[in-house]
Chains A and B, each alone.
Chain A
Amino acid sequence: MIMVSPATLKRQIAEVYRAWGMPERHVNTTVELMVEADLRGIDSHGIGMLPQYEQYRRQGRLNVQPDIQVVKEGPTFVLIDADHGLGHPPAEMAMRAAIEKCEDCGVGFAVVRNSNHYGAAGVYSTMAVERGLIGLAVTGTSQRAVVPTFAREPMFSTNPIAFAAPAGTHDPFSLDMATSTVAVGKLQIARRAEKPLPTGWALNAAGEPEHDAAAAVASVPKRMTPVGGTRALGSHKGYGLAMMVEILGSVLSGSYVGGRDLTTLEPGKYINVGHFFLALDPAFFRGEPAAFTADMDRLIDWLHGTAPAEDGQPVLVAGDPEHASRRLRMAEGIPMTDTLLEEVRQVARGCNAPFLLEG
């Protein structure tokens, strides 16, 4: 394990993308948003995705020189075609457009089609907060890894929801959650610790709870549960939320669901992910911005003030862990495991980019 400064990490990823031939303007945006995920402690969605992106590129499933186009536009909305490039540049462009439209109309939204993985959903919802707005970001995903309630085959993936709202003196409220019970990373942690999985994290091929972490990780495809875990504990709600995300992200934009064309049910050359973004201006509703942010502070105080079940584990508010991680990692750097370093070294070597993360 070594600690890497955000600046170094950005340089490293940028070198790889330049070696791929990605246009400079896209390099910059992608790198910033990826490292932002690492700063927030969302390790699965920053540099950790680089080997996966490299695999997509080698498979010809990623266009490194996309021609990102606005397809349709109105005063409150925009539809963007990402031309199968990495999702970060079109997503950033879409959220920026939603914000600009919101600043004119009080609400704005953006839909992106023909896109790819875009990192952590929460880095887009919080762009709205920086302008004093409420932000929502949801995305479809390409892997089939989550099993609907009562089913035994995975049909969609972790379909995340991110929602952020500005506060006054407090850090912004920032929810960024997969609609599955846990992320794949949690299964990996249990496997390495040789611990059994709790009922409700993953399923076996018969649709029964899988308690063996190694089996759950090895399963192709993965068979994870929607949040709730079991029908008795509300997995039909997690499944319903995942489909809400699919409708907003994939169906509305005309993208694939679980990596497949909805009409032909076939996978295509590209993974064809869709995203959805919304920005909403609280000042319109409350008359002035400070009324909203002052009440957000009161809501956050009210929740933080909940008597805890255990001393030493206070009640948190969505975003607290990410804000804490960001402060720590800005000061001390981003921890990287030897395994990840080695994977990044391989990616760099494979495309003749310099490797900058040596000790």
Chain B
Amino acid sequence: MADKTVSATALRRQLAAIFDGWGFEPSHIDDIVTLMVESDLRGIDSHGVGKIKLYEKHFREGRINPTPKIRIVRDLPALALVDGDNGMGHLSSKFAMETAIAKAREEGVGAVSVRHSYHIGACGIYAGMAADAGMIGMAMTGATQLTMVPTFGRMSRMATNPIAFAAPGRRNLPFSLDMATTTVAVGKIDIARWQGKPIPEGWANDETGRPETDPNAALAVEPKRLTPLGGTRERGSHKGYGLAAMVETLVTVLSGSQSAGRNLRTGERGKYVDVGHFYLAIDPAFFRGGPGSFEDDLDSLVDWLHATPPVDPARPVMVPGDPEHAARAEREQSGIPMTASLLAEVREVAEAAGAEYFLEDER
């Protein structure tokens, strides 16, 4: 489906030109575009450059602050509350996870809640920051729109509410789980639509709460009606729903942010999207025997799982993070695939921002 591959460097430069055109704080732009393109490098295409159209819409509506003053509101040795000042979530999230890691280095654990923030890209990037620092990392975030229908319900009440978790090995790349608590992402339904295939029962619901198998119908509704992980009650959707509500508790209620763009108290949409996040870092060095013993055991676990007899020898058992690590190795070398329609979107956004568009000239 790729019509062109673009180098990570070129994509960062292109996105930087757009944010510059929008008048974003210059010292923030490098972090924003680096974190956005990191999603694309990992193959999480839905959360990198693919979000630029949504960011443009929210920016034009005045729902993102281009020059936020990110600050710590409350601080204890192992805890912090960060206010994102309604700027890009990438900025407050990087700051929050760095804060959590620094606290964990001193205290064994750091827990940081972020309020008044926005979309952060892929959650797994922030959990991975802890693993890169030799720690266990956990990241959760709310999102901008209602997407998920609770078990037994027939209307959307929460967003895709993702959970990311990462832990370091020594020989192996980090364990890295990054998952929406819905059964599938909207992008999966797009793929079925392009292929003209029905979607399996358990991905989305119709307006009566029964499974929707027509991808066009599933995509036509706003808000979307995706199922929680499990898909149907019989197959455990109440577990995915419960996990989504756990995330909502930690990201929205704990921080005092909005739930999928809606104020919990008034039920109204606020001026800003006002997303909340939760970050946790734990330093295993505090209570494992020698230095590195946690990493050695993590390696053993990963090796053990990789060695599980597969159903199909051509499709070995993977460990969370394997697809992202593989995509990253590949895309660092050969670039990030972009479809013609995505390139056209980026061109439109760039032109409207008064920024130069140069992706078509790059290899």
Query: Hey, which bits of chain A sit against chain B, CB under 8 A?
Result: 71-72, 74-77, 79, 105-107, 109, 111, 134, 148-153, 155, 161, 163, 165, 173, 175, 177-179, 181-182, 198, 200-201, 206-208, 227-229, 232-234, 236-241, 243-244, 246-248, 251-252, 254, 257, 262-263, 265, 280, 282, 284-287, 291-292, 295-296, 298-299, 302-303, 306-310, 313-318
Complex CA–CA separation, A232 to B245 (angstroms): 23
| 0/1 string, B155-169, CB within 8 A of A gives 1 | 101000001010100
Tell which of A178, A201, A233, A302 has the most Cβ of chain B within 10 Å.
A233
B240 partner residues in chain A, CB cutoff 8 A: 227, 234
Complex CA–CA separation, A251 to B167 (angstroms): 10
Query: Given contacts A151-B311, A295-B264, are A247 and B175 in contact (CB under 8 A)?
Result: yes
Query: Given contacts A76-B109, A177-B239, A316-B151, are A302 and B157 in contact (CB under 8 A)?
Result: yes
| Complex partner residue of A151 from B109, B184, B248, B310, CB under 8 angstroms | B310
Residues B259 and A299 in contact, CB atoms below 8 Å apart = yes
A310 partner residues in chain B, CB cutoff 8 A: 152, 209
A317 partner residues in chain B, CB cutoff 8 A: 245
A315 partner residues in chain B, CB cutoff 8 A: 150-153
- Chain B residue nearest in CB terms to A261: B300
Residues B209 and A150 in contact, CB atoms below 8 Å apart = no
Residues B308 and A155 in contact, CB atoms below 8 Å apart = yes
A-B CB contact pairs (8 Å), 11 listed: A77-B286, A105-B79, A106-B78, A181-B236, A234-B183, A254-B289, A254-B297, A285-B113, A295-B253, A298-B265, A306-B150
| Complex partner residue of A280 from B111, B150, B305, CB under 8 angstroms | B111
B354 CB–A CB distance under 8 Å: no
Complex CA–CA separation, A71 to B287 (angstroms): 9
B217 CB–A CB distance under 8 Å: no
| Complex partner residue of B136 from A240, A243, A248, CB under 8 angstroms | A248
Residues B256 and A295 in contact, CB atoms below 8 Å apart = yes
Residues B177 and A241 in contact, CB atoms below 8 Å apart = yes
B187 CB–A CB distance under 8 Å: no
B23 CB–A CB distance under 8 Å: no
Chain A nearest Cβ from B260, distance in angstroms: 10
| 0/1 string, B202-237, CB within 8 A of A gives 1 | 110100111000000000000000000111001110
Chain A nearest Cβ from B119, distance in angstroms: 21
Residues A247 and B298 in contact, CB atoms below 8 Å apart = yes
Chain B nearest Cβ from A99, distance in angstroms: 14
- Chain B residue nearest in CB terms to A79: B287
A149 partner residues in chain B, CB cutoff 8 A: 317-318
**CB < 8 Å A-B pair total:** 259
Complex CA–CA separation, A247 to B295 (angstroms): 11
B68 CB–A CB distance under 8 Å: no
- Chain B residue nearest in CB terms to A105: B78
Complex CA–CA separation, A177 to B305 (angstroms): 23
Complex CA–CA separation, A154 to B289 (angstroms): 29
B209 partner residues in chain A, CB cutoff 8 A: 308-310
B305 partner residues in chain A, CB cutoff 8 A: 148, 155, 243
B245 partner residues in chain A, CB cutoff 8 A: 173, 175, 299, 303, 317-318
Residues B249 and A76 in contact, CB atoms below 8 Å apart = no
B282 CB–A CB distance under 8 Å: yes
Complex CA–CA separation, A150 to B253 (angstroms): 37
B108 CB–A CB distance under 8 Å: yes
Complex CA–CA separation, A192 to B18 (angstroms): 63
A76 partner residues in chain B, CB cutoff 8 A: 78, 107-109
Query: Given contacts A173-B245, A237-B179, A307-B155, are A74 and B300 in contact (CB under 8 A)?
Result: no
Complex CA–CA separation, A148 to B301 (angstroms): 13
Residues A181 and B235 in contact, CB atoms below 8 Å apart = yes
Complex CA–CA separation, A79 to B109 (angstroms): 13
Residues A175 and B243 in contact, CB atoms below 8 Å apart = yes
Chain A nearest Cβ from B10, distance in angstroms: 32
Query: Given contacts A76-B107, A181-B230, A244-B177, are A152 and B256 in contact (CB under 8 A)?
Result: no
Complex CA–CA separation, A280 to B109 (angstroms): 11
A244 partner residues in chain B, CB cutoff 8 A: 165, 177
B154 partner residues in chain A, CB cutoff 8 A: 306-309
Residues B259 and A302 in contact, CB atoms below 8 Å apart = yes
Chain B nearest Cβ from A267, distance in angstroms: 14
